[in-house]
Structure 1
Amino acid sequence: MKVPFDLYQEGIEFFLQEAELIDDGKFREWLELMTEDFTYRIPVRVTREKAAPTEFSDLASHMDETKNTMEMRVIRAYSEYNWAEDPVSRTRHFLTNFRATMDENAENVIQYKTNFLLYRGKFDLPTFQFLSGERHDTIRRVDGQWKISKRLILLDHATIPMNNLAIFI
């Protein structure tokens, strides 16, 4: 079902504000945007023949998280033991091509497909890293506010061009 324009725009604003929280390192505030049943998955892309039903593994993931495990990652991000992110990476999320659908039976739920490009810079080096792909997000209105209940990230990369994924996508 087509999403009414005002709700579509609210969703876009929500995702742009979410990206700003991540880029600004406000991870505790970012956690508040998740529902209690939140799931976050980045399946491994596998290079397969054209006839294969999907390019993504059903069995292997770079990340397969819940709100509880994301909370643990955020606690670690603020700890003195987060060596992978000391000094912290500078990230910038670019979101584009927002496509939205709405279930006729769930007026408080919107599914978005969004293309993204993530820039990551580190140290004082002139080098940088990019990740690109498509996000499949489900947002749900909870107590009058939009929250993310599900995020599936489909990377364009079969091999991730980064030393670690200690950042949030």
Structure 2
Amino acid sequence: MTVTIDPGLLAGFTPAARVPLELRIAVQDFLVDEAELLDSRRFDEWLEQFTDDTEYRVPVRITRRLGNPDVVDDIFHFDENKTSLGLRVRRLGTNVAWAEDPPSFTRRFVTNVKVVWGESVEEFAARSYLLLYRSRGDRGTHDLLSGERQDLLRLEGGRLRIARRRVVLDQATLGTKNLAIFL
């Protein structure tokens, strides 16, 4: 699954201009294809969607009184780079990934995609909502995780790749037993 961008679509770049419809659709297709890779456990292909200098972070959310920030940007559920993501992907292919043996059944719903230009003609900031359904085993229980993903997507060789991802979950206390999945 590769989403490519026609270089001609980038011709009207100015940071204040709206991103053309074709580019917004390409970004949305990219995010939906990425969710499909994860849900079908094609982790090696998923990892190829990231730039070499990627940052993948899920900060901790806390309950605070009005007027105070509720996201702690120096404590994370995940604080990953491409190397650490690669280690996690490789581990999932071994017999010592106990948190995912048997594997989870997941379904990711990516919605409310908004795309604006990044700092250059080859970068896009994409904000999307994620709803993740996850079930494990035969007990009939499941987890629901929702949140907002803030992605910086970069064109490399005409292909979109994730350079930065920040996922702000909608829960201060996560109800899942483990976070051995990707968001």
Shorter-chain TM range is: over 0.9
Aligned partner letter, 2:90: I
Partner residue of 1:87 out of 99, 102, 107: 102
Alignment match, 2:25: 9
Name structure 1 gaps, 5 residues minimum: none
Q: CA deviation at 1:126?
A: 1.5
Runs of 4+ in 1 over 3 A off after TM superposition: none
Alignment match, 1:58: 73
What is the CA–CA distance in structure 2 between the aligned matches of 1:32 and 1:166, rounded to whole Å? Answer: 19
Partner residue of 1:147 out of 142, 156, 161: 161
Task: Count how many residue pairs are aligned between Structure 1 and Structure 2.
Answer: 167
Q: What is the percentage of aligned positions where both structures have the same residue?
A: 40
Query: What pairs up with 1:4-153 in 2 under 5 angstroms?
Result: 4-52=20-68, 54-103=69-118, 105-153=119-167
Alignment match, 2:6: none
Name structure 2 gaps, 5 residues minimum: 1-15
Q: Could you say what secondary structure the match of 1:125 adopts?
A: coil
Alignment match, 1:164: 178
Residue by residue, what CA displacement relative to the aligned partner does 1:50-86 show, whole Å, maximum 9, x if unpaired? 121x211122110100000000000111111001100
Residue by residue, what CA displacement relative to the aligned partner does 1:27-54 show, whole Å, maximum 9, x if unpaired? 00001000001110000001111121x2
Q: Could you say what secondary structure the match of 2:114 adopts?
A: strand
What is the CA–CA distance in structure 1 between the aligned matches of 2:60 and 2:160, rounded to whole Å? Answer: 29
What is the CA–CA distance in structure 1 between the aligned matches of 2:154 and 2:45, rounded to whole Å? Answer: 17
Q: Please give the root-mean-square deviation of Cα atoms over the aligned residues, in Å.
A: 0.9
Aligned partner letter, 2:74: L
